[in-house]
Structures are given as C-alpha cells and as structure tokens.
Structure 1
C-alpha cells in the first residue's frame, strides 16, 4: 500500500504570505526545542513560519496553489502513533500544495493523493507524493521537505489524482479525473531565508492555536460552523480534542423517497480545519429499530465540506452513535502532533 494512503488496518512567483511579525533568521536546518510536557491536545507551538507563493493554476476540475517555506519538522501518523520527521542537512525547502474547487472555494482533501515533480533543464530533481497534512496556520494541505540541486529555475508539476471520496450535490459529477498544473520556481537561499519566522517563548505549550493565514490567492480550509450545516443538527461532541458535529438531512436532491442522510463533520478545535482519512462507524436507531449499522464513507458536499456520511433507508428522528475505529492519518505540523490520536465513541 502506498505510504500516502489511509492505513485502515492500524501564478505569481515571489508573492509573500507572512505568518506574522518578528525577527527573521536562517532557520533552514533547525527549529526551537520542542515544548516539554506537551498536552495530549492542540497546543500553541514554539514558532510559526511564513511562506511564499510559487504559483496558482488549473489542474483539470481542480485549482491548485503551490507555496514554499523553510524545511521543517513534522509528524507522520500510523494507526494511533505519531512519528517525527526531522530536518535533513540537504533539505532545501518545504513544498506545500493546496487543492480546491474554483467555484465554491472549498478545499478538497483527496485520499488518492497528490504528487509534485521538480525538474531542472529537462532532468528530474525530485518526484514524490507529499504527505496530506494539517497545520495551525495553513490548515489542510499536502507537504514535504524537498532537496533541490542548488539555486536556479525549476519546473514544478503538481498532479492531482481523481477523487475516490463520495461527491454529493454540486460535486457529484466533478473531480473524478486527474489533473496537472505546471509552474516555474526560481529558488534562491536569500529569498527563502527572508521568509518570516516568529517564536513564541511565552505562549508555547498553552492550550490554544495559531490563527489561520489569510491568503488572497488561496482559500482557507475550514468546514462550516455546526449551526451552519444543512439539515437538522443532532449535536456536537469532543473526542481526543477533535470536535464531531452530526447533522441529519431528511431532504436532499441526492436522496430518494424514504431515505435520509447522516453527515458527521470532524474538525479541529479553534479553527474548524477538517480532519480527513479517518475510519468511522455509525449506528442509527429510529423508533427503537436499527436503521443503519455500518461504516461511514468519506464524502464532500459544497455546503457540508469534507465529512463522513451514509444514506439511511429510513426517515424519522434518529439516535446516532459514532465510533472512531481509526483516527485521522494525516501528518501534523507542530501543535497538532499530540492531538486527534484517540478512538472515541460519541452519542448524539
């Protein structure tokens, strides 16, 4: 199985996007020491990094934005365990790709994956799939540290695979095919080292989170507030720091007579960033009878965003139990690596 897949068994080059004010220094091969006694929850990180735009373009049905920053540490997740990926001496940049629907500006987590190919003078310098990731200031994206062959101009090709998630509403007939976007990137160490880098010695480790970046050329990866979800809100619950919001749709264009739809939206606290690539089971009881007892499928809908859902062959007032079989398998930037690793059961 490809390392990027969910492990169920266990443009305008040079446009700056600043992550805040503060001293700027060369952080290309180091980061501040990690917070001691980190909570098993979202916490304020030791620092945040700005980033610079490489380019934005169309990739079939998708819109893609490619940015870069300093190489930095992050954590991959296998099952319920997070493992740190450290910065290597020859890492040049951390590349980040965002994918969204250009009509609704909905950020699209795609389980089938994204790949980035870096070329110079017709020769491939790097070709790999970046990790699906969440960070406090950027939200959901695909990222990894890349090694470049010195300063110069590179051709960057981002390939987005077709979505395997269920697409509903206005997304029903879209995003099934792969697409590519290519842009040029002029890399220099001085431009990279001019990216903002801010430390937080007084706030690090506290139960809080950085604000999401405001990006003119790319949307923010947020799901709707619970009260803004369509249908009847059944309630919210907190798991291992992630927030679950369940809604019940008794009418929708994709439903037949006698059907309902259960949607469970799982998001980070504070910023409502979706948490993809989970394994979730759901049970629905209506009038004392079991109407559904099976897995919930990953899905996207323009008004719900990324969520886990199921068509239920019944109508009425439901009682719902949601069991997390496997937590989100996305990689984490600092401040998220100790959170969202449990397997809670929540009743609505």
Structure 2
C-alpha cells in the first residue's frame, strides 16, 4: 500500500460558506447540511447546489490494477438502467460513501468497465459487502462507489476491494491484460469527527449550465480523456448535446484483425472532458451520399487511444454520423443525472 496524505482531496474553487455537520439524524434529513435537489435543473449538465470533499483511505497495486479507496459523507445519487433513471436516497443506516478508482498504473488510464465489489470485515467477521456502481461525479470524475451501513465510530475495519476483468476490449499493448480479477486490501478506522471535517460547500450557482472543476487528487487519475492533438492520426471533433466526440482513423491496433483501417471514437463530457463509458454507439460512414460502412462500436481500452468505442473500417474517408443508442449506463452524482439522454446524432468528417 502506498502512503498518502489524508485530506488530500479538495474541491477546486471555493463557494459560499462551509456547512456545519453536527446534529442528529441522517445527512439527507438535515436540510441545513444538504440542500434539496434543485427543482429547476435543466435536462443537461448543471452545477449542483452543493459540493463535497473527501478523504483518502489509501492506494494499492494488485495484478494489472492500481486501486485508490476514498470516502465521504453518504451521498444521494442516481442509477441508470436503459433510459430509466432512479434515485438512490440516503438511508438512516448509511454510515459512509466509499469510492474506488481503478486504473492502469503505467499509463494512468482509468478502467471504467471493470466490476468492483467491496467487503468490509472486522476481526474476520463480515460487517457489510456490496457490488458498487460505476459512477460519474463532477469533482471526482470516473470511479465506482456506493453508500455503506454498519460502521461504528472509532472502530477499525479491513476493506477488500475486488476488481473483476474489464468488459472493454483490450487492444495494442493492452492486449491480453485486465482479464484476471484481483483484490486490493486496506485498513480503515471510521472516525465520525474526521468525516464531519470534510469540506462541504453550499453553492449559489446551483442550476447553471456549467460543471464543478475536477478535484486535485495527487497521483489518482480522474478519467479525463486525452486532448485531440494527443491522439494518433488525424482527429475530428463534434458536439451533440453535452457529449463531445473526438474521432480518429488509424491503422488497426493489435487485437483488431482483418481490417484496413480502424475508427476510434472517444465521447467525453462537455466541460471537464471525462470519459463517457458503458454507452451504446453506432457509426455510419458515407461518401457522396452513399453508405460505405455502418457498425455498432465496441467499447475498447488501448494505451495510445485510451478508452474509446471502435470498429474496423474499409480504407476510406467520408462523413461520419455517430448516434447514441444507449446512454451511459453509469450512476451519476448531482449535476450529471439529467444529462446524456436523447443525445442528437453528431456528424463529422474523417
């Protein structure tokens, strides 16, 4: 396990005063602590009514994976199944919100398509366990997380973070990697007074069409996608709703057989440029009004192309149309829960 400084994660940019967290009852039931969900939020990315910091538990490297574990107050968040969004509220029994970030230690590329489960034990006895959600947060970016009950103030626990094989296709130098599960282990003392000191800001910009800046997270990546000029090939960009696309056509990387060229499409969030994972995307390539190719894109992880959606193409150029068939199947913290639905088709030249 790597040593880290606690309280290293702070929300970039201060807002109105920090709310006091003393008192009884759950965080959600204390209106002075967490403002209600905004009534007039747009069907798009927006600034939430509050921002929270977090504390670090630690980092570990196991097998093909680097894993960071952090925590904050219990959170409300929204899960997405197909086109259906469902709110997960804070329960009276919730003690903490745990967050795991999983990435490739050599390249720093976050792996959003792995399965992650957390088991908390004390003296060998199970306290709680859960398969946690792939998530998207404005300050923290791409991670996995969930609320956990049953922790007692001052008690020390063993936390096992189990990482499964990636559902993305590994290509290039990643071919053959991220296929075996691994478990990172941590020791954590739950201290309610320390948790109450984690930064909590009310924001008077709530509801604006904008986003909070990413946190300063030391050596932990947030899942920000590469800039177009950092990708190989001639890139093209387009925006549709709150999705920004960067596309490039390159020689097929290792792991993609029987193709003359390869299309890589990287969708990312409008403001912070976070990878958008677990989507269903289709692409159609036309030239002179005639269809050259049409395909469902495959979720892929590559050291040079990053996390993207790709397909083999004939060796051609033309007008590319990208359509969202399924929105990102990730849980969202406030500010993202209304975004990325009903995304219009984007067109760009490649």
**Residue 286 to residue 252, structure 1, CA distance change in 2 (3 Å):** farther
Q: 1:129-174, CA deviations, whole angstroms, 9 ceiling, x for partnerless residues?
A: 1111000000010011100231200100001101121112221121
Corresponding position of 1:8: none
Corresponding position of 2:31: none
Task: Give the CA RMSD over aligned residues.
Answer: 2.0
Q: Which runs of structure 2 are paired with 1:289-300 in the superposition (5 Å)?
A: 290-300=291-301
* Distance in structure 2 (CA, Å) of the matches to 1:304 and 1:224: 8
Shift of 1:256: 6.4
Corresponding position of 2:18: 23
Q: 1:23-80, CA deviations, whole angstroms, 9 ceiling, x for partnerless residues?
A: 2522851221122211111111111111111110012110000000000111111222
* Distance in structure 2 (CA, Å) of the matches to 1:47 and 1:116: 27
Unaligned 5+ runs, structure 1: 1-10
Shift of 1:237: 2.4
Q: 1:203-253, CA deviations, whole angstroms, 9 ceiling, x for partnerless residues?
A: 1111111100111131221001233322122331223x1212222114655
Corresponding position of 1:36: 39
* Distance in structure 2 (CA, Å) of the matches to 1:287 and 1:37: 44
* Distance in structure 2 (CA, Å) of the matches to 1:96 and 1:196: 16
Match of 1:226 among 225, 228, 240: 228
Corresponding position of 1:109: 112
SS in 2 for 1:129: strand
* Distance in structure 1 (CA, Å) of the matches to 2:239 and 2:251: 22
Unaligned 5+ runs, structure 2: 29-33
* Distance in structure 2 (CA, Å) of the matches to 1:102 and 1:279: 27
Corresponding position of 1:212: 214
Shift of 1:319: 2.4
Corresponding position of 1:327: 327
* Distance in structure 2 (CA, Å) of the matches to 1:291 and 1:168: 25
SS in 1 for 2:297: strand
Shift of 1:89: 1.1
Q: TM-score, structure 2 length as denominator?
A: 0.90
Corresponding position of 1:196: 199
* Distance in structure 2 (CA, Å) of the matches to 1:247 and 1:196: 41
* Distance in structure 2 (CA, Å) of the matches to 1:208 and 1:149: 36
Q: TM-score, structure 1 length as denominator?
A: 0.90
* Distance in structure 2 (CA, Å) of the matches to 1:246 and 1:324: 15
Q: Which runs of structure 2 are paired with 1:1-348 in the superposition (5 Å)?
A: 11-12=2-3, 15-16=6-7, 17-19=9-11, 21=14, 22-26=17-21, 29-30=27-28, 31-110=34-113, 112-151=114-153, 152-201=155-204, 203-239=205-241, 241-250=242-251, 252=253, 259-285=260-286, 290-312=291-313, 314-348=314-348
SS in 1 for 2:215: coil
Contact 2:170–2:255 (CA under 8 A) maintained in structure 1: no
* Distance in structure 1 (CA, Å) of the matches to 2:253 and 2:97: 42
Tell me the number of residue pairs that the alignment of Structure 1 and Structure 2 aligns. Answer: 334
Shift of 1:282: 1.6
Contact 2:111–2:166 (CA under 8 A) maintained in structure 1: no
SS in 2 for 1:92: strand
Shift of 1:176: 1.2
Contact 2:240–2:345 (CA under 8 A) maintained in structure 1: no
Contact 2:238–2:347 (CA under 8 A) maintained in structure 1: no
* Distance in structure 2 (CA, Å) of the matches to 1:323 and 1:197: 38
SS in 2 for 1:130: strand
Shift of 1:296: 0.5
